[in-house]
Structure 1
Amino acid sequence: MEEYIINDKLNLFIKNSEMIKEIKGSWQMGMMQYSCVLSSTIKNQSINKLAVEESINVIKENTSMFSNFRGHSMFYLANILSTKSNREEEFKSIKNIYDKLKEKKFINDSYLPFTAIIIHSNKDKMDINTSIEKTKYVYDFMKKHHRWLTSSDDYCRAALIAINSNDLDNDLEYIEKAYEIFNSRGFFKSNNLQSLSHIMALDKDKSAKTIDKVIRIKELLEQEKCKIDGYGYPLIGALALIDYDENKIVEQIVRVSNKLSEVKGFGNWALGKNNRNMLSASIVAASYAQYLNEDSNVDSISSNIFLEIIIAIEIAMMVAIIASTAAAASN
């Protein structure tokens, strides 16, 4: 893959990082600002300050003061709505999905708006009511097999699997198989491992080769002192779905992370090395997704898989950022 694609993506990420600081109230975002920046960047969109602020007003005008839509998800959703011409209609559609999810006994917390966003963004792929039913089916399966690990932070991946699976029962069984294989090969049983195994449902081949690649990427990143810890495991899973040499992918992640470390606000003290490595890996993976999707030599099935990598990256980053924010608050 041409290096200019990654460089362009990195430059846009930096530009968007500066733009988001100009949004009124952006100081409230905390770590969530990086998820907003990444979301725009992987779609090759520039953040529009005025449009985001107008979208924030749309959300506030249509929700109560204590709504979950005014929590972690507000700026992220406002950033998505900023690209729409009918923002209020789009928001009401998302809120309607959110209300339907609550009716299905999904926990009403800060993760639920993100789940509604994912289902809404895939409404042309699957009927909304069907998506909700299948998401509940996937989540109940997860809860049955990992009662103490499964919680609302799994809603997003449950929706992702439900919407994109062609054979839900087989894919769910494969997730459990992947969980056990990873555990037998050095991964501790944990919520992070469960999150990684969920991403394996997107592997069209469901092969040992992909699992080997996950382990190899993790080891290479550690060797290069570009480690991605715990809650970034789903991102490593997404990287393993890219049909390119893992040595080259890791080399590019290291290069992007080193470049990003020189930008104000992205150093080890300001952002933290692990978070920067995750952002760098996301930029590289999104670049490959774009390249392979545009490449006429890639068949349509592969193209669709790589489009879903983008969604996987967003979910991994959202969950990671919310988790780190909650951990910081508790400390």
Structure 2
Amino acid sequence: MLNSYLENSITNYNSIFTSLKDSFKWHADDKILMLVSTMYIVNDTNFDIERYSRITDYIKANVGFFSYLKSTQRFTTAATLDLMTSDPKEGFKKLLGIYEKLIQEGFSRTTFTYIAAGTLLKLDDSKIDVYIKKSFDIFRGMKEHHFFLTGSGDYPLATLLAQTGDDVSCSIERIEKYYQELHKKGFYRGDSLQFLSHILALDSNLEKENLAQKCLDVKELLTNNGIKVKTAYYPYVGILALLEQPENYIQTITMIYERLNSDKKFKWQKDINFMVAIVFLLKEKTELGDIVTAGLSTSIESILQAQQAAMIASVSAATAASSSSNGGE
């Protein structure tokens, strides 16, 4: 049986999704609306459909015809502005400014560049240029090690890694060590493994071999509890590995996952349901102050932000083709 916090999270999530679906069912994929709903739960922010709709309309009215923000990308961007800024209109101007600076530094014009810009939105203006340069240096370092794997989907984690305080070479070295150690443990090489290594590299105090083994243990725990661990789930396996005694929470994750799978609104989105189950568990552990392995000094906000970036990136990639073919609204 789920505790009251998780029950309330599921109830609120359902309510927000229903409100979004009623308003935007012809304009946004269910995956996007599920993601937006999750963002409000994670940030403990009351959802106001009228306020949110005004922000989406403002974004659409203030970008060019061919902008990614003209179509489904504006829905997650609107949530980011609503949740991270006190004045969404001013926040949007800042977001566009950061986006253009990322382009000037060498990043490509993609949907992932907007996501990366969102991770920098809360920084003081005086720090943005420094972190953008560092972000591109980290991205370039990623590409040197994995030329064919590294692409625009890695932009958001590059900007998050740039904010850790470690120098570029140390961050790249940690990413690569995790990548190789995890592969030795049986994780398949590819984009998802690189994403997992990025998340684990957010904290320099973690010891790579033990954490890689813990990731393998979590993967086996999930499999033994009836959840087939696809490569797309690798980043979330890593997040679970940051928990103190993750084996204590597998049953809870399974219960949330099965609850969402049994809901007719969500039953066709099992991959998203798994991600949401991890989000809700992590948020609950944050509220209880019982969250991570000893020695993890990265703030919980950074881990949640990394998870949010991972979700936005994966959902955006999954819906990009349909959004493009439909031409937005």
CA–CA distance in structure 2, aligned partners of residues 178 and 62 of structure 1:
42
Shift of 1:326: 4.2
* 1:131 is the counterpart of 2:113: no
Alignment match, 1:38: 38
Alignment match, 2:255: 255
Indicate how the Cα distance of structure 1 residues 330 and 64 shifts in structure 2: closer, same or farther if over 3 A, else same.
Answer: closer
Shift of 1:114: 0.6
Alignment match, 2:91: 90
Alignment match, 1:51: 51
Give 1:244-323 correspondences, 5 Å limit.
244-267=244-267, 270-271=268-269, 273-292=270-289, 304-323=298-317
Sequence identity of aligned pairs in percent? 25
* 1:227 is the counterpart of 2:224: no
The Cα offsets for residues 206-252 of structure 1, whole Å up to 9 and x where unpaired, read as: 2122222111111111111123422221122122122x211112111
Higher mean C-alpha deviation, range 189-198 or range 207-216? 207-216
Shift of 1:304: 4.8
Shift of 1:262: 2.6
TM-score (norm 2): 0.89
The Cα offsets for residues 70-96 of structure 1, whole Å up to 9 and x where unpaired, read as: 234200111233354422111000000
Letter in 2 for 1:7: E
Alignment match, 1:186: 186
Indicate how the Cα distance of structure 1 residues 98 and 330 shifts in structure 2: closer, same or farther if over 3 A, else same.
Answer: closer
On the 8 A contact 1:196/1:233 being kept in 2, the answer is yes
Letter in 2 for 1:288: K
Letter in 2 for 1:212: Q
On the 8 A contact 2:199/2:239 being kept in 1, the answer is yes
The secondary structure found in structure 2 opposite 1:127 is: helix
The secondary structure found in structure 1 opposite 2:44 is: coil
Indicate how the Cα distance of structure 1 residues 304 and 47 shifts in structure 2: closer, same or farther if over 3 A, else same.
Answer: same
The Cα offsets for residues 144-173 of structure 1, whole Å up to 9 and x where unpaired, read as: 110000000000011111112434422320
Indicate how the Cα distance of structure 1 residues 36 and 164 shifts in structure 2: closer, same or farther if over 3 A, else same.
Answer: same
Moved over 6 A (4+): 327-331
CA–CA distance in structure 2, aligned partners of residues 178 and 140 of structure 1:
18
The secondary structure found in structure 1 opposite 2:306 is: helix
CA–CA distance in structure 1, aligned partners of residues 134 and 74 of structure 2:
26
On the 8 A contact 1:289/1:310 being kept in 2, the answer is no
Aligned residues: 321
Alignment match, 2:143: 143
On the 8 A contact 1:98/1:112 being kept in 2, the answer is yes
CA–CA distance in structure 2, aligned partners of residues 37 and 166 of structure 1:
33
Shift of 1:181: 0.7
Letter in 1 for 2:181: I
- 5+ unaligned residues in a row in structure 2: which ranges? none
CA–CA distance in structure 2, aligned partners of residues 42 and 26 of structure 1:
26
Indicate how the Cα distance of structure 1 residues 203 and 302 shifts in structure 2: closer, same or farther if over 3 A, else same.
Answer: closer
Letter in 1 for 2:205: D
> For the aligned residues, what is the CA RMSD?
2.6
Letter in 2 for 1:51: R
TM-score (norm 1): 0.89
Higher relative contact order (CA 8 A, sep 6+): 2
Shift of 1:195: 0.8
Indicate how the Cα distance of structure 1 residues 167 and 126 shifts in structure 2: closer, same or farther if over 3 A, else same.
Answer: farther
